[in-house]
């Protein structure tokens, strides 16, 4: 099952022997700064799924979680 999950993840589209794969393996993207996420998205432009994934992380970082937005409305 883990193998199926791994192949479905956007980062799986990056070749395992690439510099990007090493970065994604060694860095915690959930703790990355806005600047770092932007830089990684720029370096990943050949992998649209990775760019979309990093953009989602970036937007979460910039705008907060959806649950936070809902909580502050009321």
Question: For 26-66, what is each residue's pLDDT tens digit?
Answer: 999 988 999 999 999 999 999 999 999 999 999 998 888 65
Report the domain count for the chain.
1
pLDDT of residue 6 exceeding 70, the answer is: no
Residues 6+ apart with CB under 8 A from 72: none
Q: What is the pLDDT of residue 27?
A: 92
| Residue 49, domain extent | 2-73
Is the overall model pTM greater than 0.85, yes or no?
no
Helices (H), the chain: 2-8, 19-26, 34-43, 48-63, 66-73
């Amino acid at each position: 099952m883990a193998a199926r999950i791994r192949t479905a993840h956007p980062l799986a589209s990056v070749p395992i022997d690439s510099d990007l794969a090493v970065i994604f393996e060694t860095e915690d993207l959930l703790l990355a700064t806005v600047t770092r996420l932007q830089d990684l998205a720029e370096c990943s432009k050949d992998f649209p799924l990775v760019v979309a994934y990093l953009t989602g992380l970036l937007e979460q970082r910039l705008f907060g979680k959806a649950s936070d937005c809902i909580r502050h409305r009321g």
